[in-house]
């Protein structure tokens, strides 16, 4: 099948294809999603097939407004209204108990709950409105690869497999939405996946918020089933470098002594200092966690395509957006971190 690129004035055509059960990748503020009619089980199954995604991993249902969610949920937890008002449209996914027999088990993974999100992208909101149905939308990458933050990334992974891509340029945030479970019996919301809406921002609106144990301990069973799979990983090994220029220097010398060709993902200052010592660099610009997060997946993808043996990627402190950045980077690195103490031990 030919994968067609749709522009803003062709949203009607893309919406028609969704209604016909075809798959269309769509832009959001976080990453590109792989869209299909959430009420069409055959189309949803095709999403899993195209991504190569384990089918016990439930999908997020994307809506164009909160009214759409009311068709599937009749009992909203107390914080729903304030969360929707504060963060929708935006990078916050909310999990509710759904009415039975609304979505197929392909969407729910067999759970009684469904994750809903209203993305902050005008073209995609228009696509959902025109299609007239909610869309499932896992990240539009081959399962296990870094999530796509440009239409080119989607094309690279899925060309020939899907009907089209709605192109809206690079995404702004760069990592997937915060997933918040509102179904706990004690009523306290639980973060299942960290994202750009931080715990502090949520607590400002609803009071106490918990972080699911799997974010802290690797040994607990994850509640967001997607968290258990190795994600976001390039083909070459990734090491996180947690420290100042001296730590980068030691790490680079160590890799060079082993004849390893290094790809460096870091800010302008670090990449310019070491550009002569490594095989490839990808700078995310100024030293800011927003910039690092925005370009993390693009950087990993770009370095992975070059002739290198290892990627060294810059750490950020684990607070605010840094929690989401480090969560994705640790998965890509399979938890491998070089710190000053581990080098000088």
**Residues at the contact surface with ligand TXA, assessed by CB under 6 A:** 28, 30-31, 33, 57-60, 93, 95, 111, 113-115, 117, 119, 137-139, 176-177, 179, 192-193, 223-227
Q: How many CB atoms lie within 10 A of CB 82?
A: 11
Task: Give me the residue label for tokens 């070459």.
Answer: 236
SS3 assignment, position 54: coil
User: Does the annotation flag 117 for ligand binding?
Assistant: yes
CB nearer to Mg ion: pick between 139 and 198: 139
CB nearer to Mg ion: pick between 141 and 271: 141
Which residues lie across from 179 on neighbouring strands?
93, 193
Residue 56 CB, nearest distance to ligand TXA (Å)? 9
CB nearer to ligand TXA: pick between 59 and 280: 59
Residue 119 token pair: 């993305």
| 36-65: contacts with Mg ion (CB under 5 A) | none
User: Does the annotation flag 193 for ligand binding?
Assistant: yes
* DSSP, residue by residue, 200-217: HHHHHHHS--EE-GGGT-
CB of 97 closer than 8 Å to CB of 72 = no
Residues 6+ apart with CB under 8 A from 20: none
Query: How many helices (H) does the chain have, and how many strands (E)?
Result: 13, 16
Residue 133 CB, nearest distance to ligand TXA (Å)? 16
CB nearer to ligand TXA: pick between 28 and 302: 28
User: Does the annotation flag 106 for ligand binding?
Assistant: no
Q: What residue 170 binds from Mg ion, ligand TXA, none (CB within 5 to 8 A, per partner kind)?
A: none
Q: What residue 95 binds from ligand TXA, Mg ion, none (CB within 5 to 8 A, per partner kind)?
A: ligand TXA
Asked if 139 interacts with Mg ion (CB under 5 A), we say yes
Q: What residue 338 binds from ligand TXA, Mg ion, none (CB within 5 to 8 A, per partner kind)?
A: none
Asked if 177 interacts with Mg ion (CB under 5 A), we say no
| Residue at shortest CB range from Mg ion | 139
Residue 339 CB, nearest distance to ligand TXA (Å)? 28
- Reference 145, options 245, 50, 23, 252; nearest CA is 50
Q: What residue 137 binds from Mg ion, ligand TXA, none (CB within 5 to 8 A, per partner kind)?
A: ligand TXA
User: Does the annotation flag 171 for ligand binding?
Assistant: no
Residue 60 token pair: 């997020």
Cα dist from 127 to 12, 13, 16, 21, 94, whole Å: 7, 9, 9, 14, 21
User: Does the annotation flag 147 for ligand binding?
Assistant: yes
User: Does the annotation flag 113 for ligand binding?
Assistant: yes
Counting every residue written for the chain, the total comes to 345
**Strands of 280-283's sheet, edge to edge?**
280-283, 262-266, 310-314, 238-242, 337-339
CB of 58 closer than 8 Å to CB of 109 = yes
| Residue at shortest CB range from ligand TXA | 226
Residue 115 CB, nearest distance to Mg ion (Å)? 12
CB of 96 closer than 8 Å to CB of 113 = yes
CB of 81 closer than 8 Å to CB of 205 = no
User: Does the annotation flag 328 for ligand binding?
Assistant: no
The annotated binding site for ATP is made up of 53, 57, 113, 139, 147, 193, 232
Which residues are at the interface with Mg ion (CB under 5 A)?
139
The annotated binding site is made up of 30, 53, 57, 62, 113, 117, 139, 147, 177, 193, 232
């Amino acid at each position: 099948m030919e994968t067609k690129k749709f522009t803003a004035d062709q949203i009607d055509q893309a919406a028609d294809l969704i209604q016909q059960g075809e798959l269309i990748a769509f832009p959001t503020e976080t990453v590109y999603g792989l869209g299909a009619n959430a009420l069409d089980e055959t189309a949803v199954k095709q999403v899993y097939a195209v991504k190569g995604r384990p089918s016990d991993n439930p999908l997020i249902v994307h809506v164009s407004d909160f009214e759409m969610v009311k068709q599937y949920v009749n009992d909203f937890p107390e914080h729903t209204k304030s969360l929707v008002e504060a963060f929708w449209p935006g990078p916050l996914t909310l999990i509710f108990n759904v009415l039975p027999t609304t979505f197929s088990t392909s969407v729910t993974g067999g759970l009684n709950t469904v994750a809903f999100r209203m993305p902050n992208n005008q073209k995609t909101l228009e696509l959902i409105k025109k299609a007239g149905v909610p869309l499932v939308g896992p990240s539009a990458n081959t399962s296990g690869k870094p999530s796509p933050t440009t239409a080119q990334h989607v094309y690279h992974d899925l060309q020939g497999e899907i009907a089209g891509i709605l192109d809206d340029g690079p995404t702004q945030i760069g990592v997937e939405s915060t997933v918040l479970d509102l179904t706990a019996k004690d009523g306290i919301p639980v973060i299942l996946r960290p994202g750009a809406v931080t715990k502090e921002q949520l607590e400002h609106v609803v009071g106490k918020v918990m972080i699911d144990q799997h974010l802290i301990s690797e040994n607990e069973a994850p509640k967001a089933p997607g968290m258990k799979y190795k994600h976001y990983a390039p083909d070459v090994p990734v090491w996180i470098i947690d420290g100042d220029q001296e730590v980068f220097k030691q790490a680079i010398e160590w890799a060079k002594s082993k004849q390893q060709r290094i790809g460096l993902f870091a800010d302008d200052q670090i990449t310019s200092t070491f550009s002569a010592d490594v095989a490839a660099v990808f700078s995310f610009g100024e030293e800011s966690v927003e910039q690092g997060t925005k370009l993390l997946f693009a950087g990993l993808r770009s370095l992975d395509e070059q002739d290198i043996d290892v990627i060294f990627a810059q750490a950020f402190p684990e607070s605010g957006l840094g929690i989401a950045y480090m969560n994705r980077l640790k998965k890509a690195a399979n938890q491998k971190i070089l710190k000053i103490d581990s080098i000088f031990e």
